Chain A
Amino acid sequence: MLNSSLLQLGSALRAKTISSVELTQLYLDRINALNPALNAYITTNFESSLAQARAADTLLASDKAQPLTGIPIAQKDIFCAKGWRTTCGSRMLENFIAPYDAHVIEQFNNAGAVNLGKTNMDEFAMGSSNETSHFGAVKNPWDRNAVPGGSSGGAACAVAARLCAAATGTDTGGSIRQPAALCGISGIKPTYGTVSRYGMIAFASSLDQAGPMARGAEDLALMLNVMTGFDERDSTSLQRDKEDYARDLSKPLAGLRIGLPKEFFAEGLSQDVASCVNEAIAEYKKLGATIVDISLPNSRLAVPVYYVLAPAEASSNLSRYDGVRYGYRAPEYTDLADMYEKSRAQGFGAEVKRRIMIGTYVLSHGYYDAYYLQAQKIRRLIAQDFENAFKQCDVIMGPTSPSTAFDLGSKGDDPVQMYLSDIYTIAVNLAGLPGMSIPAGFGSNGRPVGLQIIGNYFKEAQMLNVAHQYQLATDHHGRAPQNIEL
């Protein structure tokens, strides 16, 4: 049951081979046993999960079931879920009980899915290792001395360790793809504007995008079918017809043109990641794809541009945390300004404060043109690179992350080194394109390697097809870490 796809779980539930209550209980028992060591979940509420499972069983008995009805899903703790503690990994929101549902949560509720709990994450999604969480680092289930990646590290860990059937994540600079790669699972960040940001706690609004994380591409398609859709409460939500992301899964790949950007295979890429990615490309050739050499000449600027734009937007978004209407308030203060300053100093962790300060600086008087405006101009150059590349190819492939998962604590003191671990993912967010990561084998240290697939705008169904065909021919995505059996 733990290795079944969402499609298989749905069939079993509809055939009454298993009930949603039994399936939910199976996962809750696993969370009880394994979460103390892995720390993938921040909050669980067994009573609430089981109540949803009972309601799902009623739906399943009445023939009103949808594909995800009764299936237990883990929700990243960035999504407000009514009545659930929603912390965003921060002390600032340690006691915040969300008074409403995010659009994504509403969509899963309407589909009859079960919310298994809220997964751990870097504080306010700022991090690439999950070590900035106020609730402690998540362990990589493949090697507990390694980071799971971030910011959706709890979600990636929960999927890999079979602590949920599938999970939600969010991706501002790589936060779905990089942890998916480091934990040996699949994840997709759709085109910006495809999934509503309503009720998703804001980090950098022009880059933040939610997406699913699961073991295989087929599962991602079913999850995307539920998560996407226009929502007028998000001003950047796109008005488009509803599509079935599973419609092209079984198409053959003959004639597919894969672009390989030379900049993604240059200095800085570790040997074992390079060899796994090259093997995956060879497999695609066997499946009928042709290879095109392309160039993304401005991609080297993606990291510097991102570390202007994302902190600038974050400093503005996070100014709402003032200790007045909700969130942490310092126990002692002398006046209003002192209350703000102490509440924010004590409520935010070091990385969040660092980014607020970068953002405040680049937006401050006299610096706007040199930093923010210049970054937005280069952002267009980066997007144009992709536009040119997609004239020659259908999808772009390369590594998701320059190395396999690094050791816990190994990059703690050096923010710049940590930022460079997102060097291949950030440009995709800046351009607003869809990007995904799928398992492509293991490094010499036994830690997973991810293959990144970048598509043109709204080409998610094609990317899922490309991923699924590879997963039919290989078994990397079906592998499970040791020591997660009960």
Chain B
Amino acid sequence: MILANADVRKVARLARLAMSEAEIDAARTQLSGIFDLIAEMQAVDTQGITPMSHAQDLSQRLREDVVTQANQRELFQAIAPQIEAGLYLVPQVIE
């Protein structure tokens, strides 16, 4: 499959990855190679086959709606890049 630089640029934006034009060029070649590998599965007839998401085909377990975790704000914020007054700091998003 041939990808265009525009496809790669779009995917990088969706994935929130900053990429230079040189990186986009390199990624396009490598991703095209990988999609050639993936293309092998397109020819398989899968009509009537149920998709498989879990080996045991289990349904999701539910649990009681009760509090199971204690508040550990200080412990968790000790590893944050930037905090102030118990809040996570990010660049301003609302004017």
Does A243 have its Cβ within 8 Å of any Cβ on chain B?
no
Min CB–CB distance B35 → chain A (angstroms):
8
Asked whether, in the complex, the Cβ of A304 is within 8 Å of the Cβ of B16, the reply is no
Bound CA span A193–B50, Å: 21
> Does more than half of chain B's interface fall in helix, strand or loop, or is it mixed?
loop
- The answer, yes or no, to whether A370 is at the interface (CB within 8 Å) is yes
A96 at interface (Cβ–Cβ under 8 A)? yes
Give the size category of A's interface with B: 35 or more
Q: Are B52 and A379 in contact (CB under 8 A)?
A: yes
A324–B88 contact, CB under 8 A? yes
In-complex Cβ contact of B88 among A96, A325, A340 (8 A): A325
Q: Is the CB of A325 within 8 A of B76?
A: yes
**Is the CB of A433 closer than 8 A to any CB of chain B?**
yes
Binds B, one of A255-263, A277-285, A341-349: A341-349
Chain A residues whose C-beta falls within 8 Å of the C-beta of B36 in the assembled complex:
416
Q: How far is the CB of A192 from chain B (nearest CB, A)?
A: 5
Interface of A is mostly: helix
Contact A336 B93, beta carbon cutoff 8 Å: yes
Whether A236 is near chain B, meaning CB under 8 Å from some CB there, is yes
- Is B14 within 8 A of A360, CB to CB? yes
Whether B80 pairs with A326 at a CB distance below 8 angstroms is yes
Docked pose: A381 CA to B44 CA in angstroms? 10
Tell me whether A64 is interfacial, beta carbon within 8 Å: no
Check A370–B42 contact: CB distance below 8 A. Answer: yes
By a CB distance below 8 angstroms, the chain A residues around B50 are 377, 380
B55 / chain A contacts, CB cutoff of 8 Å: 191-193, 383, 431-433, 457
Within 8 A of A (CB), among B74-89: 75-76, 78-82, 88
A415 to B29, CA, bound (A): 11
Chain A contacts with B in 308-332, Cβ cutoff 8 A:
308, 315, 319, 322-329
Q: Which of A298, A357, A364 has the most CB of B within 10 A?
A: A357
Contact of A364 among B11, B18, B75 (CB under 8 A): B11
Q: Are A354 and B46 in contact (CB under 8 A)?
A: no
Please judge, given known A-B contacts A336-B93, A357-B11, whether A304 and B41 are in contact too, CB under 8 Å. yes
Nearest CB on B from A159, distance (A): 27
Q: A307-B38, A357-B11, A360-B14 are in contact. Are A373 and B88 (CB under 8 A)?
A: no
Q: Which of B19, B38, B49 contacts A304 (CB 8 A)?
A: B38
A residues 77-100 near B (Cβ < 8 Å) are 95-97, 99
- In the assembly, what is the distance between CA of A304 and CA of B44, in Å? 12
In the complex, are the beta carbons of B51 and A360 less than 8 A apart? no
A432 CA / B37 CA spacing, docked (Å) = 23
Tell me the complex Cα distance, A324–B44, Å: 43
Cβ proximity bits A92-128 to B, threshold 8 Å, 1 near / 0 not: 0001110100000000000000000000000000000
Contact in complex: B15, A357 (CB < 8 Å): yes
- Residue B71 at the chain A interface, CB threshold 8 Å: no
Q: CB < 8 Å: which of B30, B53, B90 contacts A376?
A: B53
Interface of chain A residues 44 through 100 with chain B (CB within 8 A):
95-97, 99
Taking the nearest CB of chain A, how far is it from the CB of B26, in angstroms? 9
Closest CB in chain B relative to A480 CB, distance in Å: 36
Once bound together, how far apart are the Cα atoms of A358 and B17, in whole Å?
13
Question: For residues 43 through 71 of chain B, which have their beta carbon under 8 Å from a beta carbon of chain A?
Answer: 44, 46, 49-56, 58, 60-61, 63
CA distance A78 to B26 in the complex (A): 29
Which of B15, B37, B53, B93 makes the CB contact (< 8 A) with A315?
A: B15
List of 6 A-B pairs having minimum Cβ-Cβ separation, nearest first? A432-B55, A376-B51, A329-B81, A377-B46, A380-B52, A341-B18
Report 26 cross-chain contacts, Cβ distance below 8 Å, ordered by A residue: A97-B78, A193-B58, A206-B54, A304-B40, A307-B37, A308-B38, A308-B41, A315-B15, A325-B76, A326-B79, A327-B81, A356-B17, A357-B8, A357-B27, A360-B14, A360-B15, A377-B46, A377-B51, A378-B44, A378-B49, A380-B50, A380-B51, A415-B34, A432-B55, A432-B56, A433-B55
Known: A304-B40, A344-B18, A357-B17. 17 other contacts (CB 8 A): A99-B79, A193-B56, A193-B58, A206-B53, A307-B34, A329-B81, A336-B91, A337-B16, A339-B90, A341-B18, A354-B27, A357-B11, A370-B42, A378-B41, A379-B52, A419-B37, A433-B55
